[in-house]
Structure 1
């Protein structure tokens, strides 16, 4: 079977899966409806692009609709970036200021205006017949790939900030939001790199390689969309977000230094007060065992200690030189070590112990345990 004849079938399958997933995302009951809606929009626009392999020939008689469909690709990358923001930050909302992200679509429309949108039907047909060799097509190609680089970089920077803030303020070890978005962004980058190579080959005589890469893109898109479906079905409540107003610890330290400068206490007195607070914090961790709560946050712990959350965050993340994430895990692992060695708890399985000490993921527990002891929980129990 010729490669070209497989493309419509593969793309039709990908579009069908996309529609199923989009309906699921838009109808599933969840508190993160905005992020689901943005992901659904991202998937549907990708499906619209993929549908070119079997739809475009039916749109030849409707040139305006066909070129508008092609121009809509400029909205794919902003939607993905908005999805990342909505998933990472619980207080993210679409606002009027976000309309500037429509600028690439508007610019492309203006570029196409003189020789396409403002001419008669016959001229539009003639323009489309040679569209691949027009300056407008080259501009669209360059704009699309530059736009991708911009938004994928912005997404990776968002993820870096999210992870740092998460580890400084939360003790839930799964970080499922970060892992999902990181995987998704990497996959999107790899797939787009293949598309870049495919598009560049379109300007060369190597048409057979171009056709092969088109099929590869279609197959990859189908597999990735199937992965989306499975991920969404296994995690219908995706995912845990944080408040975007939470500042990094470095910023808190700088603010504290500025605020304390006019009336700063002597360094020995400040150090003595800090050590007393650390002693109070550690005593609370041992006696009250707040770490047993898998969803413990620095705000929760601050309320228990009747301290400002910012002060506690700086104390742990800066003065103890540990992320809140690692600070809490240290107590969880110590508790797990005690349970593993306690003869009266010999009937407890490792899985039961990890849940009992505040973990909610076996892989996270094993990683943290081995990092602290150099052994797996099973090895530690048998020593």
Structure 2
């Protein structure tokens, strides 16, 4: 079997840097406290998947595939993992959780992987010819053995480009369908530059949406895979744009808050800060904190966004570890942040927001039909007695007394 010497030109070097940076970024999001966030895990696996896809393109483009014939087309199933992972990342970043039955989105990649299992058992001559057909049609192919299994049980491999294009379009559309209502909920246009977290997600989605357009432009211009190096260079650009956003500051995943805001979560309608400390007192505590100012501000901004979009305090099973996981930090750091910056322990903070929500329900004439116990359940309390205790402690009134007073004011 004839082979060609490896070569690495400018395009090859760009792709190689993309592979390295994608691997680094993937491991970055999948390790440490960052891995506590579902969105970070989705982004980490997305970066690793892209690295594998462009890594295979690099092997073919640079002729290194001649030395690794067993690895021909090894990343094909990942073509159908990139779109779902990006959508799951966007969904989890906005909602703080994965969509229901999220595993179904991974089914196409699984089906493709099962269909490709027999590819592992093909003779090296067959894989050699496959590589030549895709990357070196000018070279003569070798005689093949006829003892191998079918390499394509489902008859889908000839349509991989079209199916990849369809997957990219579908999941970019789903991502935009999640982002648009989030902008509307924030009272902003989908093209607005704020909230910053949504603007960044929108821009990344548009960046990924260019990929199917490039597939449509590039593929018809080249025989087989000869133009894939251009797609790999673009994906390398996506990796480095993501890296730039990460390195540009810890506000990458959070919304902007005025630097001098008296309450770091003041953008969200809710209870006032329950502390009598002066602004200098939390600052002195803060200076002793093991968390840097940048990191604490970042977590508070993410908490601000989470409160605006998800109201996690209404979940009956909300706990310090669960909230910390949604914010991508540790329970210890979150507890320290609530104490030092907001002057509240976690359960006090939780009760304050739940009671504030209950007060809105008790005032609202549209929910006047609700019983007190039903309101307790709506705001996250499994126990009516715990709700009564918290409400009385914070308002100096029982829920029934508060409702009566609100009704008297309306009359």
Tell me the TM-score range normalised by the shorter chain: 0.5 to 0.7
SS in structure 1 of the partner of residue 9 of structure 2: helix
Partner of 1:264: none
Task: Give per-residue Cα distances to partners, 1:101-133, cap 9 Å, x unaligned.
Answer: 23222333455567x455444334334443589
Contact 1:19 1:44 in 2 (8 A): yes
Partner of 1:236: 250
Contact 2:77 2:110 in 1 (8 A): no
SS in structure 2 of the partner of residue 307 of structure 1: helix
* 2:36 counterpart of 1:16: no
Contact 2:39 2:96 in 1 (8 A): no
* 2:179 counterpart of 1:159: yes
Partner of 2:374: none
Structure 1 stretches lacking a partner, 5+ long:
205-210, 242-288, 316-383
Contact 1:108 1:140 in 2 (8 A): no
The aligned runs of 1:1-383 (5 Å cut-off) are: 5-27=9-31, 29-30=33-34, 33-56=37-60, 57-60=63-66, 62-92=68-98, 97-109=101-113, 111-112=115-116, 116-117=119-120, 119-130=122-133, 136-167=156-187, 174-203=194-223, 217-236=231-250, 238-240=252-254, 293-296=266-269, 303-304=355-356, 307-308=359-360
| Residue 21 (structure 1) shift | 2.5
| Residue 79 (structure 1) shift | 0.7
| Residue 223 (structure 1) shift | 3.7
Alpha carbons of structure 1 residues 53 and 27: separation in structure 2 relative to 1, 3 Å: same
Instruction: Considering Cα pairs closer than 8 Å and 6+ residues apart, tell me whether 1 or 2 has the greater RCO.
Output: 1
Give, in whole Å, the separation in 1 of the partners of 2:82 and 2:186. Answer: 27
Contact 2:219 2:227 in 1 (8 A): no
Alpha carbons of structure 1 residues 35 and 120: separation in structure 2 relative to 1, 3 Å: same
SS in structure 2 of the partner of residue 68 of structure 1: coil
Alpha carbons of structure 1 residues 47 and 58: separation in structure 2 relative to 1, 3 Å: same
Contact 1:64 1:117 in 2 (8 A): yes
Alpha carbons of structure 1 residues 306 and 123: separation in structure 2 relative to 1, 3 Å: closer
| Residue 184 (structure 1) shift | 0.2
Alpha carbons of structure 1 residues 130 and 311: separation in structure 2 relative to 1, 3 Å: farther
Alpha carbons of structure 1 residues 91 and 156: separation in structure 2 relative to 1, 3 Å: same
Contact 2:21 2:240 in 1 (8 A): yes
Partner of 2:315: none
Alpha carbons of structure 1 residues 11 and 313: separation in structure 2 relative to 1, 3 Å: farther
Partner of 1:333: none
Give, in whole Å, the separation in 1 of the partners of 2:251 and 2:80. Answer: 29
Task: Give per-residue Cα distances to partners, 1:278-310, cap 9 Å, x unaligned.
Answer: xxxxxxxxxxx999923435x988944853459
Alpha carbons of structure 1 residues 143 and 17: separation in structure 2 relative to 1, 3 Å: same
RMSD: 4.2
Aligned residues: 251
Alpha carbons of structure 1 residues 100 and 60: separation in structure 2 relative to 1, 3 Å: farther
TM-score normalised by L of structure 2: 0.50
Task: Give per-residue Cα distances to partners, 1:188-240, cap 9 Å, x unaligned.
Answer: 11233123311222249xxxxxx997565455444433322221123436435
Task: Flag the structure with higher helix content.
Answer: 1
Partner of 1:259: none
Give, in whole Å, the separation in 2 of the partners of 1:292 and 1:83. Answer: 24
Task: Give per-residue Cα distances to partners, 1:336-383, cap 9 Å, x unaligned.
Answer: xxxxxxxxxxxxxxxxxxxxxxxxxxxxxxxxxxxxxxxxxxxxxxxx
| Residue 80 (structure 1) shift | 0.5
Give, in whole Å, the separation in 2 of the partners of 1:239 and 1:312. Answer: 34
Give, in whole Å, the separation in 1 of the partners of 2:213 and 2:361. Answer: 43
Give, in whole Å, the separation in 2 of the partners of 1:202 and 1:240. Answer: 42
Contact 2:57 2:229 in 1 (8 A): no
| Residue 178 (structure 1) shift | 1.0
Partner of 1:318: none
